[in-house]
Amino acid sequence: MVGLPARGKSLIATKVVRYLHWLSITAKTFNVGQYRRTATPTPSADFFDTTNPEGERLRRAAAEAAVNDMCKWFRDGKGLVAILDATNSSKTRRKWIQERCQAENIETLFVESKCDDEDIIMQNILDVKTTSPDYAGQDPELAAADFRNRIRNYEKVYETIDETNERNLTYVKLIDVGKQVIINQIKDYLQSRVVYYLMNLHIKPRSIWLSRHGESQYNLTGQIGGDASLSDRGELYARKLPELVQQSVGDGRKLTVWTSTLKRTIQTARFLEFEKLEWKALDELDSGVCDGLTYGQIEEKYPDDFAQRDEDKYNYRYLGGESYRDVVIRLEPIIMELERSENILIVTHQAILRCIYAYFMNVPQERSPWMEVPLHTLIKLTPKAYATMEERLKADIPAVSTFREKGSRAKHQEAQEAAQEAHDKQKA
């Protein structure tokens, strides 16, 4: 990474690692600030003054420690992509990194985030003062003032990547949040894939809202797949959803609603007074020959397949259908569109939401198919530089649980009985 503080470098680094993990490519961030915090956990802006020799020595030591660990990580065969997250704001520092990596046979790709948009910079400063470990427990306004002074110190020595004198470098220059992108000497498929992802990113603060469809007729009977309509309680959730969205958004902004092409998501979203788009890519995981069956029936008719799916649910592909890995591949255009869009609400299905949620929350792929994503719940995700914040709003409308734990025997009759019991309680 290359760039001044508050230009979204750590957010970009986090996003790239998360994207690569989602594609089952092992990646890791080596954040020089974390190494520096070992010796100076909460430095003031003076520490970053170029005329402070002790600060310069400690910062150089932190960079060397990070690069040493990164090189060892590669030598030990622990992954394919490492991200050195630091300002790397001088030609001298970039030359040192390039030479060190060449000596280790590591290909380099420099990613510079160059931004002069004051609104974005100020918002990033606000995010940093509340989430950065450098300012933990400090007064937010004092933290913001100190961080501005830190930026000024870096501005004294900052050298943008020089398209003439550094033309031997492989680099991507993202100018003003992707308004202009300059690419130089991209050499292989993996680099080009990362670059394509970077071209779709923006670092503007935003949130994404996620919801499953309301409870469906198939949910009541324990059947999977299909194109069932909503149950009575699913209909109640559809009518409640606009209120939940208004409560969660809070500022009256207009969202764009994405649904699948299946009836239960379209019916759930129909009371939302926003623009709506239907995406085939958001359709539920294709269960092939098991479509319309209950888990009990699947276990009875296809016992070997039922056991194989329990053993490796992420990679198991239904006969004539899909695996979770297949779903991730077809969702990649959705993720790209999400990354360049703002104010999106997605109403879709359990398996699809598991994959999207896993992307934003960096959940390991082997765990993602076993996550519980309850019905009648609105999820708000807000990506930050150091983590993604999550809020959940539950509608006070009962629904069956469609969650099946690994190794459990989810019989059709049990699902019917649970649904009837919940329905009877609601009537009472």
264 labeled part of a ligand binding site: yes
- Which of 293, 128, 284, 126 lies closest to 221 in space, CA to CA? 293
210 by Cβ neighbours in 10 Å (0-12 / 13-18 / 19+) ranks as: buried
Q: Is 218 annotated as a binding residue?
A: yes
Does the annotation flag 212 for ligand binding?
yes
Does the annotation list 417 as a binding residue?
Answer: no
Bridge partners of 258?
277, 346
Cα 106 to chain centroid distance, Å, stands at 27
| 104 belongs to the catalytic site | no
219 is in an annotated binding site: yes
State the number of CA atoms in the 13 A half-sphere of 373 facing the CB: 26
CB 346 within 8 A of CB 279: no
Active-site residue identified among 213, 349, 376, 412: 213
As a whole number of angstroms, the longest Cα–Cα distance in the chain is 77
Q: Is 217 annotated as a binding residue?
A: yes
- Residue of 127, 284, 299, 322 with catalytic role: 284
Q: Is 386 annotated as a binding residue?
A: no
Q: Specify the amino acid at residue 294.
A: T
Q: Are 205 and 123 in contact (CB under 8 A)?
A: yes
Whether 405 is a known active-site residue: answer no
The yes-or-no answer on residue 284 being catalytic is: yes
Q: Which residues contact 365 (CB under 8 A, 6 or more apart)?
A: 21, 22, 24, 314, 324, 325, 328, 358
Q: How many CB atoms sit inside 10 A of residue 256's CB?
A: 14
Question: Under DSSP, is residue 113 helix (H, G, I), strand (E, B) or coil?
Answer: strand
> Is 254 in contact with 274 (CB distance < 8 Å)?
yes
Binding residue per annotation — 237? no
Which residues belong to the annotated binding site for substrate?
Answer: 212-219, 264
Q: Which residues carry a binding-site annotation?
A: 212-219, 264
Catalytic residue positions, numbered: 85, 213, 284
